Amino acid sequence: MVVHTVAPMKLKWIFQCLGLIFLFAALFVLNSFSISDGDYFWHVNTGQWIWEHRVLPVSDPFSFTVTDSNPFRPESGRVQFILQQYWLAQLALYSLWSWGGEASIVVLRALIHSGLIFAVFWCSWRRAGIYCALIFAALTFCQFQTIPNERPQLFTCLFVFLLVILLEKVTDRSRPVPGAIIVGLPVMMLLWANMHGGYILGLCVITAYTVGFCLERSKSFDSASGKKILLLIGSGVITMANPVGLTTLFSELFATQSNYLSGVQENVSSVKLILSGGIMSHLPYVVMLLLTIVTLINAFKQMRATHLLAVGGVLVLSLLAFRYQIFLFLLAPLVATYLPFSQKKLWAVPVAALLIVFLLTNTKFQKPSVFAASPEFPAAAIEFVRTTQPSQNLFNYYDWGGYLAFKAPEYKVFVDGRGLVEEFVTKHGEVLYEEKLSALDDYTINTTIFPIHNLATGKVIPLAVMLMYDPDWKAVFMGRNSLVFVRNVPENKAIISTYAIHQDDLARALVDAYDRMLVLYPAHYRALVTKAQLQENIGDLTGAMHSLKRAQAVNPESLYVREAIQRLMRKSVRLGSG
């Protein structure tokens, strides 16, 4: 009998190994998309600064608006928190970048993402079977496709999964804690606390496991249990050994108290995002949320207290803020243990297959195998600035600040993705979108660089039209989605005489930009009116009339549109009779 079964078993094992290798390779390729997170650049830039100066920064080296504190609210600790919290991760990212450039960062992200997806699949397979494992792996993969994760949060994703594995070993009631874990758990938490503020989530998970373990052992608590509790507490306490201490804790807990931070998508409630964007825009999370809730309700009495508290706590956090969504997926193996669905049912295969196909067909995939920064960053515009050297100071688009400071270090930025001083982020928004240009004078801005379209919404940025008509400013560079304006000052005379863009050419480009915007927002009244003004100024009266009539259909009560149509009709008559 042995002779007849050895070969088939070996063959099955070989096919399983080949299948797992192929799965990991496919995941790696699909997760090797371009760098699109502007925060990556200021993290690497800070890592380089720390390496070169052998000290943590206490004053901002990259912007001209911030030094060592908030000039509007000196009591705020945010500047020091952001400057020093991520130092170890920043050194790691810089070291990797200095060795292999942007491609090495893409490889790191692809390895960690694909490794975590594979680990979710493997652990779920062992706990609940192949079909559940495939569903959870597909969910995690789809969620990772929505996260530009080239920053220290990448390490938090890795540490959360490793933490749960270690805590499962520590709270195993049948075995003593291995020596490697006694050393490894505190060391991991210490590293985490010096790499990313997300270690606060780690403390929450440790607390959940500690409380749950105490509840489980309440009737049979012994010295071994006491030692495990001490290990858990010690692993949490050691996180205090980071440059900002309790600052991180309070910063994370009270982040939503800030108007600026509460407006950042990472801090927005998942419920609010789903209600505003629709279920399909957050499909992987909605499916994972429903599976988790059903499992918690169905297996409430059967679940270990550690699992119930950990999964339930992360679920609540994921509802409170978008930034915590991904961690619910990383706890999928715990959920898989208690799933109320059996893969032995006849319907398990078609249901799993349909759900996976539905997820994959409704996910916007990133273009794979791109080992460089996204073309959304203004490489050509920055090259122009570095070549022509327009006069400082420079006003820049928020999401491009880190990229600009990294690629053109001779220019200090107005603001960047760190949001060191929230009031400057507010001023940035007022200049770009609210036509309040006083900050350009207040901070002696002589050069501006910003996109034609907002990268998140696709809406045309009004500042382009404002500066185009302002005699004190001249457009000198226009890229695929980037503009450079310089102030008409003596230092910029040579650049203006050589590179100035004719107003009509810029106006035509902006008309095209508004056309693209109106595809997304066909009833946007202001866009239609502004487009009409631009068309009139370049002599396209027919197009201007069409835009005004569309605006009138959107807002029939608009006196401005009514008068503009009448004025345009009279102008057409005069030109026709002439």
393 upstream amide cis, omega within 30 of 0: yes
Which sign does the torsion angle of CA 37, 38, 41, 42 carry?
negative
- In angstroms, the CA 486 to CA 495 distance is 9
Question: What pLDDT digit, counting tens, does each position of 63-78 carry?
Answer: 999 999 999 988 888 8
Q: What is the pLDDT of residue 131?
A: 87
Residue 311 tokens read as 């999964």
Intervals of the chain under pLDDT 70:
1-7, 246-263, 342-348, 577-578
Q: Which residue type, as a one-letter code, is found at position 458?
A: G
State residue 2's pLDDT score: 47
Residue written as token pair 């050589």: 498
Inter-residue long-range contacts of 342-345, CB under 8 Å, 24+ positions, other chains counted: 343/128, 343/129, 343/130, 343/131, 343/132
In contact, 529 and 563? CB cutoff 8 Å: no
What do you get for the CA distance between the two ends of the chain, in Å? 104
Q: Please state, in angstroms and as integers, the Cα–Cα distance from residue 168 to each residue in 37, 120, 528, following that order.
A: 33, 15, 59
Residue 417 structure tokens: 């993705």
Give dist(CA 162, CA 199) in Å, integer. 12
Query: What is the crossing angle of helices 153-170 and 199-216, to 10°?
Result: 10
pLDDT at 487: 98
3-state secondary structure of 417: coil
- Specify whether the CB–CB gap between 73 and 258 falls below 8 A: no
Q: How many whole angstroms separate alpha carbon 413 and alpha carbon 115? A: 36
Give CA separation, 45 vs 41, 50, 62, 225, 386, in Å: 6, 9, 9, 46, 17
What is the C-alpha R_g of the chain? 28
Question: Which positions ≥6 away from 7 have C-beta within 8 Å?
Answer: none
Q: Which residues contact 136 (CB under 8 A, 6 or more apart)?
A: 120, 121, 124, 329, 332, 333, 335, 336
The SS3 of residue 366 is: coil
Which residues partner with 413 through β-bridges? Answer: 63
**Kind and range of the H or E run holding 473:** strand 473-478
User: Distance between CA atoms of 145 and 360, rounded to whole angstroms?
Assistant: 11
Please state, in angstroms and rounded to a whole number, the distance separating the CA atoms of residues 95 and 448.
Answer: 32
